[in-house]
DNA sequence: AGAATTTGGTTGACATATCAACTAAATACT
DNA sequence: AGTATTTAGTTGATATGTCAACCAAATTCT
């Protein structure tokens, strides 16, 4: 099966279609991981990311997650409600600031992460195999810069 | 305003959270460009991408666009119907293969692209300013590799 | 040629994402 | 203290995205 994706058509100025390429890669990655999650679990992509983060960084709040994932707080609110209902996460009102609630991953959630993580990491490994360490570092650096630069919402 | 996004929490193994970071950057970029599109036009992000591609690569078909954008053909079908209804794109059945239809950007669509493109390019320029040419090249190369590697949907 | 498979596109049902309005608590301002 | 502003989170309305079923035309296989 030859790759007739027409990528060659998008040459030209270096940054032309850069965000487009990013979006495209993102779409493919998302489709792939969603696919795996469906096979290996019954949680969705956002659920996975939330659990993964809660497991990795410990207790936190919705608004932190929202900032971190750069994701709508409304959506997050609903997703987290689902996770709490499924007993994967617990939520308690913060004693210091009663507007916010502290989210903590539950043992069941932790177990889920333990089950899925190896497969996700293996996939991650496959994604970057053949790419040199140095190139990967540059990649992540540039990605971080672009991330930082896409902060402003002011009109040009 | 200090950046309390907690990015520092995500250090560790180089590729840990790589797709997560990609998703995050993607979300921010999308939010940003959608915002601009809302200010400067009344078309959505997908409409923009389709018009931009049709303008840049000439006539094509839905399935090509679907492959290129790595986007659901169903959604694309509806979006393109909208573009045709708004007379930004014309569609005619291919004489050779009557399953498919050739999509062509209309003059109105072309004009729209001419109006918006400079602002998009200026934004693009701001995104990458301060990043060296060499680093950008590596970035795009790695991105392409990851894109290619995220092809398989087979279980691990 | 005829059957089986693939491909291009449309549609419906459903899940997810986005935006805006809103409540309540915390902070800042005077 | 008292008002104004900001922040955390929820909710509803609406737009977008995803998946699967489906039709019709093209292609492959025999």
Task: Say whether B60 sits in a helix, a strand or coil.
Answer: strand
- Taking 80 as the threshold, does the pLDDT of residue A13 lie above it? no
Q: How many CB atoms lie within 10 A of CB A92?
A: 10
Cα–Cα dist A92/A100, whole Å? 9
Q: Where are the domains of chain B?
A: 17-127
Interface test with A, best of B62, B147, B153, B154 (most A CBs within 10 A): B147
| CA distances for A89 relative to A71, A102, A147, B46, B104, angstroms | 19, 10, 29, 35, 50
Confirm whether pTM is higher than 0.85: yes
Enumerate the residues of chain A whose CB falls inside 8 A of the CB of residue B7: 68, 144
In angstroms, the first-to-last Cα distance of chain B is 43
Taking only the tens place, the pLDDT of each residue in A66-98 is 999 999 999 999 999 999 999 999 999 999 999
What pLDDT is recorded for position B156? Answer: 63
Query: What is the DSSP-derived secondary structure letter of residue A1?
Result: -
The length of chain A in residues reads: 156
For B17-127, CATH number out of 2.30.42.10, 3.20.20.10, 1.10.10.10, 1.10.357.10 equals 1.10.10.10
Query: What is the DSSP-derived secondary structure letter of residue B5?
Result: S
A to B CB pairs, distance under 8 Å: 198
Q: Is the CB of A60 under 7 A from strand D?
A: no
Taking only the tens place, the pLDDT of each residue in B16-69 is 789 999 999 999 999 999 999 999 999 999 999 999 999 999 999 999 999 999
CB contact under 8 A, B24 and A69: yes
CB contact under 8 A, A147 and B24: yes
Taking only the tens place, the pLDDT of each residue in A113-132 is 999 999 999 999 999 999 99
What pLDDT is recorded for position B1? Answer: 35
Query: What is the DSSP-derived secondary structure letter of residue B12?
Result: S
* CATH code for the structural domain at A16-144: 1.10.10.10
Residues B90 and B103: beta-carbon distance below 8 Å: yes
- B105-126: burial string, b at 16+ Cβ within 10 Å, e else: bbeebeebbeebbebbeebbee
- Sign of the Cα torsion A24, A29, A30, A34 reads positive
Taking only the tens place, the pLDDT of each residue in B79-130 is 999 999 999 999 999 999 999 999 999 999 999 999 999 999 999 999 999 9
Of all residues in chain A, the one with the smallest CA distance to B120 is A156
């Amino acid at each position: 099966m030859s790759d007739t994706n027409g990528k060659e058509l998008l040459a030209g100025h270096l940054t032309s279609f850069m965000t487009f390429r990013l979006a495209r890669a993102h779409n493919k990655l998302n489709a792939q991981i969603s696919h795996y999650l469906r096979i290996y679990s019954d949680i969705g992509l956002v659920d996975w990311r939330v659990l993964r983060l809660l497991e990795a960084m410990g207790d936190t709040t919705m608004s932190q997650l929202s900032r971190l994932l750069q994701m709508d707080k409304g959506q997050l609110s609903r997703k987290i409600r689902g996770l709490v209902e499924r007993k994967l996460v617990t939520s308690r009102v913060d004693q210091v600031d009663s507007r916010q609630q502290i989210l903590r991953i539950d043992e069941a959630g932790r177990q889920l992460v333990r089950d899925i993580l190896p497969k996700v990491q293996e996939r991650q490994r496959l994604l970057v195999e053949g790419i040199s360490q140095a190139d990967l570092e540059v990649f992540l650096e540039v990605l971080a810069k672009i991330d930082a630069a896409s902060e402003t919402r002011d009109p040009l």
